[in-house]
Amino acid sequence: MASSLQLLLLFSLCFFSLSSSVPYEAILDAADILFDSGFISMALTIEVVAKTLFLQSPSLTIFAPSDSAFGKTGQPSLDLLRFHVAPMPLPAQSLRLLPSGAKIPTMFDKNSLVVTTPPSDRRISLNNVRVNISPIYDDGFMIIYGIERFFDPNFRYVAPHRRPHRNPACGATNETVSSRNSLKESIKTLNSGGYSVMASFLGMQMSIDETPMTVFAPADNVVVNHLGNFSDYPSFFLRHVVPCKLLWNDLVDFSDGSEIPTYLDGFSINVSRLSGALMLNGAQVFIPNMFYNDELVVHGVNHALATHEKTQEVAESSSNLEAKPDDEETMFDPGEF
């Protein structure tokens, strides 16, 4: 199975050209700004290793330790520097949306940084190191944040214990039972069915110690066509994941107007029906129960789950398509499930 790093890089390449790379001149400009901002040691280091390390990727996020951190640890190894570089742009709004336990791939082989931001805390921390969320440098392709000390590559994240809670949308108490094997099997199923982008999201962002969950997965081409900005991907993913287990038979029991909460704060899925078909924010479940076990359910959907202001527009578009039977796609028969 491909690693989360490989999957995320595949997704990022949907938005950035393989042939492009961060211009050397931009790296030198960033080094000058770091120098002027008091990050003298990191500025000098970047100038030395730029051609070796930073020109390998079309986009970067660099976490720059302070001069005092360099004074305590000395000049870092090349591998330790790679551990402070993510091969993608991570604007502040994206970092804030990543849940505790999310993994951020780095350029240090298969090592990832782990989000350790406490719940309901606007301060960002990775590997238990505070990140100054105001970028020192940001040109859209390369972003640099200041940090108080070096990240520890041997850091191990321990997920906080979560009490079971009752979710009205499920009608039952959800205990903390998800496991690494559940995620691995679901990711394998998604990859084999053309849903590798959602597989990447699932593998990178979700802790292995979560409540039972349901994923509504659009196909790869739908995701790529829907997302115009790489920074939108965390919120896009979180609004497609529900913190409880909902099989197809559970979904069809919901009455019109029911609201299903998601992992994205303030965003819920509205249940409705169009010509008898179950609609979830304008999308239909195209492949019900694509994957399921005691802990996790994945449904394939034919559209991205629309934000509420777009739901009516999607519904009207679907209605117009229904008026043209020659153009209809063959949909599943709910009676078969």
- Look at residue 191 and give its three-state secondary structure: helix
Record: fold of 165-336:
FAS1 domain (2.30.180)
How many helices (H) and strands (E) the chain has is answered by: 12, 16
Contact 45, 75 (CB under 8 A): yes
Sign of the torsion angle spanned by Cα atoms 268, 272, 274, 278: positive
User: Which pLDDT score, from 0 to 100, does residue 127 have?
Assistant: 94
pLDDT tens, position by position, for the chain (337 residues)? 333 333 343 344 344 333 356 678 888 899 999 999 999 999 999 988 887 776 666 778 999 999 999 999 898 999 999 999 988 788 887 787 677 777 888 888 778 898 888 766 678 999 999 999 999 999 888 899 999 999 999 998 876 544 444 445 554 444 444 455 667 788 888 888 888 888 877 776 555 445 688 999 998 888 878 776 656 777 888 889 998 889 888 888 888 889 999 988 888 999 998 866 788 998 988 888 888 888 888 998 988 998 755 444 444 554 454 444 444 433 334 334 3
C-alpha distances in Å from residue 225, one per residue of 33, 200, 220, 222, 265: 36, 17, 9, 5, 24
pLDDT value at position 4?
36
DSSP secondary-structure letter at 165? Answer: E
In words, the CATH class of domain 4-147 is mainly beta
| Entry pTM | 0.51
- pLDDT given at position 149: 95
**pLDDT on residue 29:** 92
Dihedral of the alpha carbons of 257, 217, 126, 139, in degrees to the nearest 10: -100
DSSP 3-state assignment of 179?
coil
Sign for the pseudo-dihedral over CA of 151, 154, 155, 157: positive
Position 27 scores a pLDDT of: 86
Per-residue model confidence (pLDDT) at position 120: 63
61-73 in b/e form (b: 16+ CB < 10 A) is bbbbbbeebbeee
Locate 164 and state its tokens: 């079971």
Residue 62 CA to residue 30 CA, distance in Å, equals 10
Total residues found in the chain within this entry: 337
Q: What does the domain layout of the chain look like in residue ranges?
A: 4-147, 165-336
Can 4-147 and 165-336 be said to share one CATH topology?
A: yes
